[in-house]
């Protein structure tokens, strides 16, 4: 599997790295992880209790990116902003599985837009590119495919299936479950995130995932196409 990005997406202001982590154990319970998770959530609740999303350069940076690419703000809340809003609303975060919880916590901690996908369910390569409207898209929770508009930056595999629309909605096809052992992670930034900051976020995912789930991880710079 090769990870790619179209030059016009980079020119629009998307910043992107990927992590690949293989051979994880996402099933075995860990008291150490549960303690870390609970303490981190408490820390985030304190940090964000007075957060003004539109005054935060990174969170607002995704909305500006949407503006610049013709995506409506109201119905398209960036992933990290949405996670933080849900955290504050519910005063916590419902556990899903270790690998997913790790990237959700890192997303809230760094405010980077992150996503995780089961490598073994991907057809061929993955390219971050603008849609042309012909792609197949069935997000998590949908009963069937949903038509997609053209000119939305999305992560698409060689079967022309959208794996993640913008940095907002992931799909059933590559859903990470407890049985998943090989994962690629999206690590997406914007004009307000430096390359160093993006790489630090990518390394944080690798460090936490390999600590609590095992496996072998590496940061991947996508091929520009």
Which pLDDT score is estimated for 152?
A: 95
Which pLDDT score is estimated for 169?
A: 92
Which pLDDT score is estimated for 29?
A: 86
Does residue 60 contact residue 124 with C-beta atoms inside 8 Å? no
- Residue 124 in tokens: 């061929």
Which pLDDT score is estimated for 10?
A: 97
Please name the helix (run of DSSP H) or strand (run of DSSP E) that holds residue 126, with its range, or none: strand 126-130
Q: What's the pTM?
A: 0.94
Digit-coded pLDDT (tens) for 95-118 = 999 999 999 999 999 999 999 999
**Residue labelled with tokens 């933080």:** 84
Which pLDDT score is estimated for 149?
A: 83
Digit-coded pLDDT (tens) for 118-144 = 999 999 999 999 999 999 999 998 888
Within the chain, which residues score under 50 in pLDDT?
none
State the Cα–Cα distance between residues 215 and 218, nearest whole angstrom: 10
CA angle, 122 then 124 then 126, to 5°:
75
In this structure, is the dihedral angle defined by the CA atoms of residues 123, 1, 131 and 175, taken in order, positive or negative?
Answer: positive
State the Cα–Cα distance between residues 175 and 140, nearest whole angstrom: 8
């Amino acid at each position: 599997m090769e990870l790619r990005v179209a030059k016009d997406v980079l020119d629009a202001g998307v910043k992107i790295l990927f992590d690949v982590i293989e051979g994880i154990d996402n099933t075995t319970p860990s008291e150490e992880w549960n303690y870390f998770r609970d303490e981190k959530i408490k820390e985030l609740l304190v940090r964000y209790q007075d957060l003004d999303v539109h005054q935060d350069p990174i969170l607002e940076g995704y909305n500006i990116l949407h503006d610049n690419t013709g995506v409506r703000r109201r119905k398209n809340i960036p992933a990290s902003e949405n996670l933080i809003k849900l955290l504050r609303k519910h005063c916590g975060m419902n556990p899903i599985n270790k690998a997913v919880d790790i990237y959700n916590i890192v997303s809230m901690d760094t405010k980077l837009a992150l996503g995780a996908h089961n490598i073994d369910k991907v057809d061929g390569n993955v390219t971050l590119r603008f849609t042309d409207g012909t792609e197949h898209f069935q997000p998590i929770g949908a009963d069937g495919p949903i038509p997609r508009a053209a000119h939305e930056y999305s992560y698409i595999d060689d079967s022309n299936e959208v794996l993640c629309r913008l940095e907002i909605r992931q799909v059933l096809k590559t859903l990470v479950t407890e049985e998943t052992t090989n994962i690629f992670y999206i690590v997406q930034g914007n004009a307000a995130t430096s390359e160093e900051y993006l790489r630090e976020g990518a390394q944080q995912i690798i460090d936490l995932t390999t600590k609590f789930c095992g496996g072998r991880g590496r940061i991947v710079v996508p091929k520009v196409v």
